Structure 1
């Protein structure tokens, strides 16, 4: 069972270099896909461009199918994967702040850095806002720590919470993605008829 690239093939010291190369390729793909454009990213909220929704749904479906297939083949032990702990209030409040920032600024944190790399001024303002938010969070942490640590649920997944069979969950999630793709195409065509 894993890792996919054993340490006897690539020395441990190369991990950082490989991570940087993967980051460069990821940034290139973001830029090539048009994800450094705030108009394209915000389009999902206004109904005229659903590329973001389609990319993220595709990434999620391919990832979960790939992980469980590698588990099935014995290359990976799915029970050994790290699951980030869930703090419900922090997730809800942080998600709301992130959502408002995404709609208002037209970027998520990753795509804003991609846009900064190609010199977009609105992205510089957005990243400045992120840095200001990080500073405010660190300065107010003692005050907001009870909310941040509030309602700890542990290292859970949806499948654990509802005792769902993972294979049925993957199947249903794939159907939801297909329906979302079809619905987004329908909405996008209606919006284009009204405004274009």
Structure 2
């Protein structure tokens, strides 16, 4: 049955409308969860608040289990799902830049827009910085292109990379999530005295 758009169950013309609706709901959930607060977001790096880690890890585990369970029941065909292409060095360098920006500003691109929507000045400055970075990257793309398009690995997943049964991967990923939650609680309790 699924994915819905590639199989013609939802017309292709609905792509953008569905994306906007999902984005609105996602932004609402971010704000309702307190993720428009740079203090809360940066807390994961300083060890006093692991809500971001827990929420996104939980979302990843639920989505992973849900997709493969739906595939098992025949409602979704995992082989038809889009996998973004991997450019190894571009991903590594981009991840480092985004990580530094996350620590320095306390936002990621999505949460910064959520914070702008409710009028936070620090988020406005952060988004202006993102726009300047996007402008510089686009104008000097010819310099960055070898890095951006280098080390192309194709449309691979971790299951492909490690050549592991997807159900074993789900089990291992879930165990890693549970261990991460346990360790993050220990760290939070130790740093609580410092920050509160």
TM over 0.5: yes
The CA RMSD measured in Å over matched residues stands at 1.7
CA spacing shift, 1:89–1:186, aligned 2, 3 Å: same
SS, match of residue 187 in structure 2: helix
CA spacing shift, 1:45–1:109, aligned 2, 3 Å: same
Q: What is the alpha-carbon distance in structure 2 between the residues aligned to residue 57 and residue 83 of structure 1?
A: 19
Q: What is the alpha-carbon distance in structure 2 between the residues aligned to residue 4 and residue 93 of structure 1?
A: 34
| TM-score normalised according to structure 1 size | 0.93
Give 1:181 deviation, angstroms: 0.4
Determine the structure 1 residue equivalent to 2:43.
43
Determine the structure 1 residue equivalent to 2:72.
72
Moved over 4 A (4+): 3-8, 10-15
Give 1:7 deviation, angstroms: 6.4
Deviation digits for residues 15-59 of structure 1, max 9, x if unmatched? 544433332221111111000000000000000000000011001
CA spacing shift, 1:139–1:12, aligned 2, 3 Å: closer
Give 1:3 deviation, angstroms: 4.4
Determine the structure 2 residue equivalent to 1:160.
160
CA spacing shift, 1:49–1:19, aligned 2, 3 Å: same
Determine the structure 2 residue equivalent to 1:182.
182
Give 1:195 deviation, angstroms: 3.7
Deviation digits for residues 175-196 of structure 1, max 9, x if unmatched? 0000000110110010012343
SS, match of residue 83 in structure 1: coil
Give 1:143 deviation, angstroms: 1.1
Q: What is the alpha-carbon distance in structure 2 between the residues aligned to residue 7 and residue 80 of structure 1?
A: 12
Determine the structure 2 residue equivalent to 1:110.
110
Task: Mark the runs of 5 or more structure 2 residues left unpaired by the alignment.
Answer: none
Q: Name the stretch that deviates more: 51-60 or 21-30.
A: 21-30
Determine the structure 2 residue equivalent to 1:133.
133
Q: What is the alpha-carbon distance in structure 1 between the residues aligned to residue 24 and residue 92 of structure 2?
A: 31
CA spacing shift, 1:128–1:60, aligned 2, 3 Å: same
Give 1:71 deviation, angstroms: 0.4
